[in-house]
Amino acid sequence: MKIPFNKVYITGQEMTYVQDCLARGQIGGNGSYTDKVQRFIADRFDCRKVLLTTSGTTALEMATMLIGLQPGDEVIMPSFNFVSSANAVLLRGARPVFVDIDPETLNIDVSAIEAHINTRTKAIIPVHYAGVACKMDQIMDIARGHNLIVIEDAAQAVNAAYQDKYLGTIGHLGCYSFHATKNISCGEGGALLINTSEPNILERADILWEKGTNRRQFMQGQTDKYTWMDIGSSFLPADILAAILYAQLAEVDHITRRREEIYRCYLDLLQPYQSQGLLSLPNIPPGIRSNYHIFYCLLTSSLERSLVIDHLRQYGIQSTFHYVPLHSSPMGLKLGYKAADLPITERLSQNLLRLPLYPSLSQEEVDYVIKHVSVALEELKITAPGLDI
């Protein structure tokens, strides 16, 4: 059996909408599917304003531009993270400040945030890892207390919630990704969610989105001149991609439900190995609704992890790990960090194993994955008794 790590979910409606788009010759940005998707996200997830972007990365870049980040400013984020939010900060000439994670969720350790706040701190970018919410109440309280902006990196968290509020709609700004590896996808795409009424952010967003021009107001007949107004870039995706996204979003509940079934199956079947102390399983805290983006477990060493990955590969199963912590990556070291600065991030990222999780994974395939994880763990007990497991 061959089980790839990820398979894109296709609803079957994508071609219909793409053909409609092509037939009408409206393939550029800010067309009717872009409008439909933006409305869908705003209504469904309850948010003030949504702008589709070309990726989650560019949504984050637009966010750091919108909040007026300057050289000398600092932005707090976890080091256990994808590179995009750190790049978005560096591209403004500002500095990412890395914080350790909470072992329970691998999200930013909220109790470590305040120690990193100083007069240069402008924002916090929490990441909802695996589609499980950060402690947003505490993060928003800290931000209020220090007058900081919160940009949620909700790239992995579309349709996940924290105390009945959808992720991406709680901070001042939120960023989604529709990359091919995410739950809802159009290949490459993203969205910026604007939840604040602050005019400097809300009113400038359309302008930054359209290369720094007032094209959107012009098209809506609100101004008679189309001209350069502010800094900006080209953040809007082709309407063809929005057409694909429109088909995908209609299935968001089905996709989430199927992922949940597989996730729960992994949890149940691996439980005995947790009881034996061979691995530790993820935990979704109360009050939080996951979108089941990632299934991970923590093994007890990186050697053990490599042995399990190798065993699975021999049986056609692709498993993987991430992230190389940002602070101890080559770029992090250039910024002056040392690996020992964030010990929990360093340790847990070496032990983390991710298993295949996508809607088309069959029960037979799930059973096959679990069987081989079990065999690998049993073999480890026999062949490497010296291992501290």
Q: Does 290 bind ligand PLP (CB under 6 A)?
A: no
β-bridge pairing 288-289 and 95-99: unpaired
Q: Which stretch binds ligand PLP (CB under 6 A): 6-14, 55-63, 64-72, 308-316?
A: 55-63
Q: How far is the CB of 216 from ligand PLP (least distance, A)?
A: 23
Assess contact for 271 and 286: CB atoms under 8 A: no
Closest CB to ligand PLP: residue number: 56
- CB of 179 or CB of 311, closer to ligand PLP: 179
- CB of 127 or CB of 143, closer to ligand PLP: 127
Q: Which stretch binds ligand PLP (CB under 6 A): 32-40, 54-62, 90-98, 355-363?
A: 54-62
- CB of 155 or CB of 342, closer to ligand PLP: 155
Assess contact for 167 and 157: CB atoms under 8 A: yes
Q: Calculate the CA dihedral of residues 72, 128, 203, 91 and round it to 10 degrees.
A: 30
Of residues 212-251, those binding ligand PLP (CB under 6 A): none
- CB of 82 or CB of 337, closer to ligand PLP: 82
Residue 138's contacts (CB-CB under 8 Å, 6 or more residues apart) are 110
For 109, the token pair is 């350790």
Strands (E), 133-241: 149-153, 161-162, 165-166, 173-177, 190-194
Separation of CA 206 from chain center: 23
Q: How far is the CB of 204 from ligand PLP (least distance, A)?
A: 22
Q: Which stretch binds ligand PLP (CB under 6 A): 52-60, 104-112, 208-216, 226-234?
A: 52-60
Assess contact for 133 and 174: CB atoms under 8 A: no
- CB of 74 or CB of 153, closer to ligand PLP: 153
Using CB under 6 A, which of 18, 47, 50, 56 touches ligand PLP?
56
- 246 preceded by a cis bond (ω within 30 of 0): no
- CB of 57 or CB of 214, closer to ligand PLP: 57
Query: What number of chain residues touch ligand PLP (CB under 6 A)?
Result: 12
Beta carbons within 10 angstroms of residue 166's beta carbon: 23
3-state secondary structure labels for all residues of 233-273: CECCCEHHHHHHHHHHHCCHHHHHHHHHHHHHHHHHHHHHH
For 277, the token pair is 């102390």
Q: How far is the CB of 10 from ligand PLP (least distance, A)?
A: 18
For 376, the token pair is 């690998």
Using CB under 6 A, which of 17, 45, 82, 263 touches ligand PLP?
82
Of residues 148-207, those binding ligand PLP (CB under 6 A): 153, 155-156, 177, 179, 190
Assess contact for 195 and 50: CB atoms under 8 A: no
DSSP letter for 4, please.
-
- CB of 132 or CB of 380, closer to ligand PLP: 132
State the Cα angle at 317 between 269 and 305, rounded to 5°. 70
Q: How far is the CB of 42 from ligand PLP (least distance, A)?
A: 20
Q: How far is the CB of 155 from ligand PLP (least distance, A)?
A: 3
Q: How far is the CB of 180 from ligand PLP (least distance, A)?
A: 8
Using CB under 6 A, which of 57, 64, 319, 349 touches ligand PLP?
57
Of residues 103-132, those binding ligand PLP (CB under 6 A): 127
The rounded distance, in Å, linking the Cα atoms of 286 and 66 is 34
Assess contact for 94 and 335: CB atoms under 8 A: no
- CB of 127 or CB of 229, closer to ligand PLP: 127
Q: Does 78 bind ligand PLP (CB under 6 A)?
A: no
Assess contact for 336 and 93: CB atoms under 8 A: no
Contacting residues toward ligand PLP, per CB under 6 A: 55-57, 82, 84, 127, 153, 155-156, 177, 179, 190
